[in-house]
Amino acid sequence: MPAAPASVVAEPTSFEWIGALELPRDLRFEGEPVGGLSSLAWEAEAGELLALSDDRSELAPARFYRLRLDLADGRLDAGDLAVVGRVRLLDAAGRPFARRTLDPEGIALAGERLFVSSEGEANVGQAPFVAEFDRAGRERRRLALPPRYLPDGGRRSGVRDNLGFESLAVTPARDFLFAATENALAQDGPRADVGVASPARILRWRLDSPGAPPSEFVYRVEPISVTPPDESAFRTNGLVELVALSPTRLLALERQFVSGVGVEARIYRVDLEGATNVAGIDRIDAAGVIPARKQEWIDLGELGVPLDNLEGMAFGPPLPDGRRALVLIADENFDPTAQRALAVAFAADIAPVTIAGVQGAGHRSPLEGRWLTGLEGTVSAIVDRPRERGVWLESAAPDADGATSEGLFVDARAVELPSAGERVRVAGRVAEVARDPGQLPVTTLEASALERLGAGAPLPPPVPLWSGRGIPAQVDDDGVTSFEPERDALDFWESLESMRVELPGGVVSGPTTGYGELVLLPADLAGAPASAAGGALLTPAGAPLARVVLSRRIAGELPRLAVGARLAGPITGVVDYSFSSYKVLPLAPVEVEAPGFPCAETTPFGDLPGMLTIATFNVENFSVAGPPERVAGIAGVIARALGGPAVVALQEVQDDSGAQGGDAVVSAADTLAALAAAVSAAGGPAYEAVVIDPELDREGGQPGGNIRVALLVDPRRARVVRRGEAGPLSETGIEGSGSATRLTLSPGRVAARSEAFTLAGGEGVRRSLAVELEAGGARLFVIVNHWSSKYQDDRAFGAVQPPRRPTGSRRLAQAREIRAFAERLLAADADARVVVIGDLNDYPWSEPVELISRPPLENLLLRVPAARRYTFNFEGAGQALDHVVVSPALARGAEAEVVHLDADCPEGVRVSDHDPLVVRVRLDRRTRG
């Protein structure tokens, strides 16, 4: 027995696709057509692939070709495969095989011995065979085949036509030869069909025992996976090639074709250990027969290249990086107009795979895109929901590298779910899963097979956060070019991705959202200033990076908690990432130690002689088409919590059909009428609504919602001066001077046609509304705003570092336009009562808000005590987005207060995501003492 060459690889643990090519159409060699390539074998000594043609000596005598494969660059590209030789197959007498006396389908090489299988032609009684040839292509002998493989002419037993011996393979040690039928023998069971598997047979001969009968094993060919366009359409799925890894382990290629649908192909890992040897059994009875175990490893449809009639597969040359090529080739059936001679190559690695090796020290796996097998871990958590099915694995024997996570998420939609605590062995493809390019990916194994190995060894303790491993104080300082878990919070969390961590409890700094999440901080808020509710406040330096988002994904719904609530520890969970935020998913329900903010504030401001109350309130996509309880809820806030202010500036008022999309409704008349009626019914004023409807699908918000700003005015305390008729683009101007100063249109738009209020990056821009009012004998100019949101800014923990902030320049442009309009009013009348109000979508220290607040204007929000100076909560930090900026005539003696009803409060308790801001201003004209 010749020794195996040193180039033979051990059993592979991973495969990486390294390219594909198509052989030229109508390729010829020495005048004969090259085609029908149905099987491959590697000749290591010559460094060439042997490619068997399935020409039945019809276009040219039966033959195989020598192919030279150039993979010096580690890739398979056009031009890398060339025909360099041809060998004719000769019968035992040394003559070319006569026309249609064989159907060559499989080729294998064992040193100086060459093996070829012929499928035969069952419909005419031509028997299949497996024969040994010499290296020159002359037949030496035929291996004995049990009679059960021979067609009987009546199609009741033996191989089926065109479903015989497609596969042929030799073990690396050259001691065993394998062959296999493409589908079941006629007497063993049905051919593969939709919903019908087929029990094919694998034969195994000992090459050191000539004449000995082969062992035989049942191999289950998968059912056809798609329903053909019509019942009569041709369809087939079969075992078309084997690669032997050892006497009991193989790779199997199944290829499916459905007319009108196309080709599918999959590579399986096959294990004969424990399978029933069915040699001597002429007709298989499923009872008591244990088939070969198989695991799907590679779905070739995932390559993203059009597949064709793949039939050949063999290991090829070593690659520059030490891995080994696995090459597949397609049989185009000598019909280049309908099929392609496609070649596909993978790089096979034999290095053991570990969870830490899959994760690597970085945000993307070094094994991304590869198909793995043999990866072991213990199940730490399970998720099983309608659109998500998976497990988290953790290594019971971690490495010593703190930069590589010891946890991994396994997408288990295609496999059986194990139980928590079980040790499993999985196969599948490594993917980096991100919702969009702006988010970091989560390293995921998309499992194609999962083997349950029993109870796992105890896992190491979870990584302690806050009290143990500290979260760095910066997100990233190198544009994600260096991986530094000890310096960068972004890298810190990545080094723990999918691992168990433990929190000692903490204080809720972000309330429970409708997505089932809340934000937790240590009891000392990580040094951040505290809000009135007990959470953290945003500062110019940013939000505290010690925050941890808890999410419901594993243990179910979190309790509805307001800011300031306290959770008991320890809280154990796995680290996850979604929607541009790292999260901890508790493994068990959390325990509430203390309740949070009561969410029941009311304004301290009532009506006083010579004073006027004005409020701004973002009502978050509000429409009469929404739930009736929202109408009542918002009305109750305005009537009772805010005390029915004389003037209420509203943002995010939708049209009357709500976020339906596709209709032409832009009017909000019914919505505002319903709100006014509900306020009145709740004991508040009978408001008059002031609004200009926007252009269709132009001012943003939810698709089809057509949000806009509006004003509610109590006619008993203030009169709306209506002057002219304004449309979506009707710009108001200023005329007159001194006490005669007035708007040319009331209501009207401010700078509606300026670039500041044009679409930017597809985001709608709310145009500002200017309204002239009379109250207490004084004239007021109220400008209601809802400036561009931060929606298109990169998130702090997003993929782009440093984050881009394109929306700031848009708000700055809007601030300049509104500032210029206010200055024109003050130029006409230095004592003009000007109110710039609304959701400016930026912080008091931001350039846009600082610009609009510069003297002589003043931002009354800054008169609110610092601990109460916030109207919104984002990622666990209270922040001020809503502002009331007034001219000197209104600033003297003015008061301001934020009524905390929403920002600190959980979904289901709050009626909006913004808190209202209320001011009380004097109406007399004296601006100087």
Domain boundary among 315, 349, 383: 349
How high is the pLDDT of residue 760?
A: 63
> CA-CA distance, 259 to 261, in Å (whole number)?
5
Query: Are 64 and 156 in the same domain?
Result: yes
Question: Residue 462 phi/psi, 5° resolution?
Answer: -65, 155
> CA-CA distance, 775 to 779, in Å (whole number)?
6
Question: Residue 678 phi/psi, 5° resolution?
Answer: -70, -35
Q: What is the pLDDT of residues 462-501, one digit of tens each?
A: 999 998 788 999 999 999 999 999 999 999 999 999 999 9
Chain position carrying tokens 């499993």:
424
How high is the pLDDT of residue 164?
A: 95
How high is the pLDDT of residue 211?
A: 82
Name the token pair of 676: 């006014």
Q: What is the pLDDT of residues 825-852, one digit of tens each?
A: 999 999 999 999 999 999 999 999 999 9
> CA-CA distance, 913 to 901, in Å (whole number)?
9
How high is the pLDDT of residue 336?
A: 82
How high is the pLDDT of residue 456?
A: 85
Is 606 part of a structural domain of the chain? no
Number of residues in the chain: 929
Cβ-contact 496, 407 below 8 angstroms = yes
Buried b (16+ CB within 10 A) or exposed e, 300-332: beebeeebbbbbbbbbbbbbeeebbbbbbbbbb
Q: Is the pLDDT of residue 5 over 80?
A: no
Q: What is the pLDDT of residues 668-702, one digit of tens each?
A: 999 999 999 999 999 999 999 999 999 998 888 88
Query: Are 344 and 375 in the same domain?
Result: no
Query: Are 37 and 102 in the same domain?
Result: yes
**Dihedral-angle region of residue 579 (phi above 0 means left; psi in -120 to 50 means alpha; beta otherwise):** left
Query: Are 176 and 234 in the same domain?
Result: yes
Mean pLDDT of 280-295: 91
Beta-carbon count within 10 A of 746 CB: 20
Q: Is residue 2 very low, low, confident or very high in pLDDT (cuts 50, 70, 90)?
A: very low
> CA-CA distance, 861 to 859, in Å (whole number)?
5
Cβ-contact 566, 506 below 8 angstroms = yes
**33 DSSP β-pair partners:** 28
Cβ-contact 484, 478 below 8 angstroms = yes
> CA-CA distance, 912 to 929, in Å (whole number)?
41
Name the token pair of 75: 């890739």
Closest CA to 791 of 723, 702, 704: 702
Query: Are 289 and 384 in the same domain?
Result: no
Domain boundary among 455, 485, 512: 455
CATH of the domain at 578: 2.40.50
Query: Are 413 and 475 in the same domain?
Result: no
Is 9 part of a structural domain of the chain? no
**613 DSSP β-pair partners:** 920
CATH of the domain at 822: 3.60.10.10
Q: Is the pLDDT of residue 929 over 50?
A: no
Q: What is the pLDDT of residues 745-799, one digit of tens each?
A: 999 999 999 999 987 666 778 999 999 999 999 999 999 999 999 989 999 999 9
Query: Are 440 and 477 in the same domain?
Result: no
Q: Is residue 927 very low, low, confident or very high in pLDDT (cuts 50, 70, 90)?
A: very low
Q: Is residue 225 very low, low, confident or very high in pLDDT (cuts 50, 70, 90)?
A: very high
Query: Are 779 and 890 in the same domain?
Result: yes
* C-alpha separations of 505 from 327, 440, 594, 756, 811 in Å: 55, 27, 11, 46, 39
Q: How many domains does one find in the chain?
A: 4
Q: What is the pLDDT of residues 421-437, one digit of tens each?
A: 999 999 999 999 998 99
Is 674 part of a structural domain of the chain? yes
Expressed in angstroms, the distance from the first to the final Cα of the chain is 113
Q: Is the pLDDT of residue 63 over 50?
A: yes
> CA-CA distance, 314 to 6, in Å (whole number)?
16
Mean pLDDT of 214-224: 98
Q: Is the pLDDT of residue 533 over 80?
A: yes
Task: Please report the DSSP string for 241-307 in residue order.
Answer: EEEESSSSEEEEEEEEEETTTEEEEEEEEEE-TT----TT-SS--STT--PPEEEEEEEGGGG-S--
> What is the four-CA torsion angle of 496, 498, 503, 506, rounded to 10 degrees?
100
How high is the pLDDT of residue 578?
A: 96
Query: Are 749 and 791 in the same domain?
Result: yes
* C-alpha separations of 420 from 409, 416, 446, 456 in Å: 13, 13, 19, 9
Q: Is residue 8 very low, low, confident or very high in pLDDT (cuts 50, 70, 90)?
A: very low
Is 601 part of a structural domain of the chain? no
Is 136 part of a structural domain of the chain? yes
Range of the domain at 100: 14-349
* Strands of the 872-874 sheet, one edge to the other: 536-537, 877-879, 872-874
How high is the pLDDT of residue 1?
A: 31
Query: Are 179 and 251 in the same domain?
Result: yes
> CA-CA distance, 224 to 266, in Å (whole number)?
12
Cβ-contact 871, 917 below 8 angstroms = yes
For the chain, percent of residues with pLDDT exceeding 90: 89
CATH of the domain at 439: 2.40.50.140
Kindly tell me the burial class for residue 31, based on how many C-beta atoms sit within 10 Å of its own C-beta (0-12, 13-18, 19 or more). exposed
Cβ-contact 674, 631 below 8 angstroms = yes
Mean pLDDT of 719-744: 97
Q: Is the pLDDT of residue 9 over 50?
A: no
How high is the pLDDT of residue 761?
A: 61
Name the token pair of 773: 């009012």
List Cβ<8 Å contacts ≥24 apart for 669-676. 670/624, 671/622, 671/623, 671/624, 671/625, 672/710, 672/712, 674/624, 674/631, 675/622, 675/624, 675/631, 675/634, 675/635, 675/638, 675/712, 676/712
Is 4 part of a structural domain of the chain? no
How high is the pLDDT of residue 201?
A: 98
Average pLDDT of the chain?
A: 95
CATH of the domain at 313: 2.115.10
* C-alpha separations of 823 from 84, 614, 750, 820, 860 in Å: 84, 21, 13, 5, 18
Cβ-contact 271, 451 below 8 angstroms = no
How high is the pLDDT of residue 681?
A: 98
Query: Are 797 and 812 in the same domain?
Result: yes
Closest CA to 904 of 548, 565, 551, 514: 565
Kindly tell me the burial class for residue 436, based on how many C-beta atoms sit within 10 Å of its own C-beta (0-12, 13-18, 19 or more). exposed
Is 832 part of a structural domain of the chain? yes
Q: Is the dihedral of CA 838, 840, 843, 847 positive or negative?
A: negative
Domain boundary among 349, 382, 416: 349
In the 8-state DSSP scheme, what is residue 372? Answer: E
Is 617 part of a structural domain of the chain? yes
In the 8-state DSSP scheme, what is residue 128? Answer: P
**252 DSSP β-pair partners:** 242, 268
Beta strands in 760-804 (DSSP E): 769-775, 778-786
> CA-CA distance, 734 to 375, in Å (whole number)?
74
Within 13 Å and on the Cβ side, how many CA atoms surround 539? 13
How high is the pLDDT of residue 477?
A: 94
SS3 791: coil
Contacts of 8 (CB under 8 A, 6+ apart): 44, 172, 173
Query: Are 309 and 381 in the same domain?
Result: no
